[in-house]
Structure 1
Amino acid sequence: MEPTELQQIIARVASVGPIKVWSVVVSVLGDLMQSADDTLGASQLDALVAPMGINNQALRVAVHRLRNDGWVETQRQGRRSRYQLTARGWAETERVRPEIYGATQPNRKSVFLVVGPPQLAAPDFAAQLPKDSAVLTSRSGFVVGRDGVPKNWMCVPHEAAAMPDWVEAAVVPETLAQEYDALRAVVKPLLSLPVPADVLERTALRLAILHHWRRLRLRHGALPDLVLGEDWAGARCRTVVLEALGRLARPELSTLE
């Protein structure tokens, strides 16, 4: 049987980047479960990820891994299984929701320009930078917040200004910008198409888009948005993705049964 046009669209969105099945499951459960008590049937999960090219065997392996990792638990209802986020899975899901779905960015005043002492080797400078940071030159960089910055480094607030190209390249790796652009390019044409009527297919399309957005967004912190504002690939992609997610509204779990 030939795939429908919508199935082809879902497959095209899914193929815009790498698919790790366990990560897709996390995206699906994190999006659809709006309460710590919510559950999703195994057959419904299977139907939602199949359009992304994920078969049942790969799905079972992924769920088994997430269960062993303490992220997902399985409930039995007769011969049927239902999946629920564990307390850990729910807490981690809640922690990243503002980053995944948020349209606003933190205050620019939280960005600092740091400079290490001249005797500090460049690799040591990079190794001592806090998590949400970027190396600009051998001993200078941007950080979000002062936490973790050594006391003998210069640390001054960054003032909002137009950034030269080399700074943007330091803050946003070229591969990340290219992946954001690729996702935006495949999602933007969908905004002019009718919203699919079938709830399972509509939700599968939503989740294919969301998964790749989540995969990219969680690869970095707030720094690119704080330094570059709306003028970078991730911000341009966010605008398109959030509009698409708004059109492909999250369904009530009961409608997927």
Structure 2
Amino acid sequence: MSGRRTDAAARKIAAPARKLPRAALAPILDRLRAEPSRTWSIIVTVYGDAIVPRGGCVWLGTLLAFFKALGIAEGVVRTAMSRLAADGWLERRKAGRNSFYALADKGRDTFAAATRHIYAVSPPAFPGHLDLVLLANGPGREAARAALEAAGWGSPAPGVFVAPGWPLPAAAGDELAVRATGDDAALRDLAARAWPLDATADAYHGFLDTFAPLRAALANGAVPDEAEAIIARVLLIHEYRRIVLRDPLLPAALLPQDWPGAAARTLCAALYRDLLEPSERWLDAHAIDEAGAPLRRGKDVLQRFHA
């Protein structure tokens, strides 16, 4: 009897893993193909999410292999890489006949700021008020406006910017700043006029609809192969990045009821954890440095979406 149980257990252990069904990735790939070519933008995501933790410089062939799996032609990728280099995001290096691309200073600074925003655990605590900055007419007005917009401050009216206790950019340091207090409803109304929250909510709902089938498949025991995992991981962060970098990540007290941002972050974090190990194995096999050696794994990725 015990022998039969042992045999049954052995067969169960040896059973092949369930492949990832096509329907799990279909909405993600359909979304990619339905929009104009964004190869350069996906390259930005690949670097920020996968290459930066391994040092920031990788063989061009690694990127060509990734995009080939996505069905994107080599010439399109090469053109996009040249554009990013010309715009100061990447710098090209040669080792023999092989080309390698590393982050330039502009790219490093931008990626560092974006990384904190994308992989943060939760929005900051609400201080109970909004800070208002009123721009004066003068030679520094445009610089102050640009700095406030870049820092994510909302604008409910021309020349007026608001944020919930955020640091004031240096370029706006001489502008008049006041503190706005009131009940939660009044502050929510001000926030709704300062930021395009309806459009951001719609984008989050689209993200949830697109990636829910993949989450369901993985929860039911499907196992992606390494190529599927790296594709899904990059496109997951690519789509999430596009939304969250436009989201001011306001405290819950300032958001509409049933705000989908928390659900989108929970889904993204869960999928990222599921995809991380098989996608890292793909990088182990394909990400090559200038000496021809595999790029070593970075430990930072293990801390993403964690407190």
TM bucket normalised to smaller: 0.7 to 0.9
Q: Please report how far the alpha carbon of residue 202 of structure 1 lies from its aligned counterpart in structure 2 after TM superposition.
A: 0.8
- Distance in 2 of aligned mates of 1:255 and 1:229: 45
User: Is residue 156 of structure 1 aligned with residue 153 of structure 2?
Assistant: no
- Distance in 2 of aligned mates of 1:180 and 1:112: 25
- Distance in 1 of aligned mates of 2:268 and 2:35: 15
What is the letter of the counterpart of residue 238 of structure 1?
A: R
Q: Secondary structure at the match of 1:73?
A: strand
Aligned to 2:88: 70
User: Is residue 191 of structure 1 aligned with residue 211 of structure 2?
Assistant: no
User: Is residue 97 of structure 1 aligned with residue 115 of structure 2?
Assistant: yes
Query: Taking structure 1 as reference, are residues 57 and 149 closer, same or farther at Cα in structure 2, changes over 3 Å only?
Result: same
Most deviating of 241-250 and 77-86: 77-86
Aligned to 1:255: 285
Q: Please report how far the alpha carbon of residue 243 of structure 1 lies from its aligned counterpart in structure 2 after TM superposition.
A: 1.5
Query: Taking structure 1 as reference, are residues 107 and 17 closer, same or farther at Cα in structure 2, changes over 3 Å only?
Result: farther
Give the aligned length: 249
1:21–1:58 contact (8 Å) kept in structure 2: yes
Aligned to 1:56: 74
What is the letter of the counterpart of residue 112 of structure 2?
A: E
1:139-178 to structure 2, matched below 5 A, reads 142-143=162-163, 144-147=166-169, 148=172, 152=176, 155-156=178-179, 158=181, 161=184, 167-168=191-192, 170-178=194-202
- Distance in 1 of aligned mates of 2:101 and 2:134: 49
Q: 2:238 aligns with which of 204, 207, 211?
A: 211
- Distance in 2 of aligned mates of 1:94 and 1:110: 29
Aligned to 2:154: 134
Aligned to 2:270: 243
- Distance in 2 of aligned mates of 1:224 and 1:24: 29
Aligned to 1:24: 42
1:71–1:85 contact (8 Å) kept in structure 2: yes
- Distance in 1 of aligned mates of 2:94 and 2:272: 32
Q: Secondary structure at the match of 1:43?
A: helix
- Distance in 2 of aligned mates of 1:133 and 1:238: 21
Most deviating of 198-207 and 133-142: 133-142
Q: Percent identity?
A: 23
1:30-49 to structure 2, matched below 5 A, reads 30-35=48-53, 37-49=55-67
Q: Please report how far the alpha carbon of residue 235 of structure 1 lies from its aligned counterpart in structure 2 after TM superposition.
A: 3.0
After superposition, give the CA deviation of every residue in 1:52-71 in whole Å (9 maximum; x if it has no partner): 45322221111001111222
1:213–1:241 contact (8 Å) kept in structure 2: yes
Q: Please report how far the alpha carbon of residue 5 of structure 1 lies from its aligned counterpart in structure 2 after TM superposition.
A: 5.2
Q: Secondary structure at the match of 1:76?
A: strand
Q: Please report how far the alpha carbon of residue 135 of structure 1 lies from its aligned counterpart in structure 2 after TM superposition.
A: 3.5
1:42–1:82 contact (8 Å) kept in structure 2: yes
Structure 2 unmatched ranges of 5 or more:
1-20, 288-307
Q: Please report how far the alpha carbon of residue 213 of structure 1 lies from its aligned counterpart in structure 2 after TM superposition.
A: 1.0
- Distance in 1 of aligned mates of 2:62 and 2:48: 15
Q: Secondary structure at the match of 1:182?
A: helix
What is the letter of the counterpart of residue 237 of structure 2?
A: L
1:111–1:145 contact (8 Å) kept in structure 2: no
CA RMSD of aligned residues (A): 3.8
Q: Secondary structure at the match of 1:102?
A: coil
Q: Please report how far the alpha carbon of residue 145 of structure 1 lies from its aligned counterpart in structure 2 after TM superposition.
A: 4.1
Tell me the TM-score normalized by structure 2.
0.65
Q: 2:130 aligns with which of 96, 106, 112?
A: 112
Structure 1 unmatched ranges of 5 or more:
none
- Distance in 1 of aligned mates of 2:94 and 2:131: 54
- Distance in 1 of aligned mates of 2:191 and 2:105: 40
Q: Secondary structure at the match of 1:232?
A: coil
- Distance in 1 of aligned mates of 2:168 and 2:93: 45
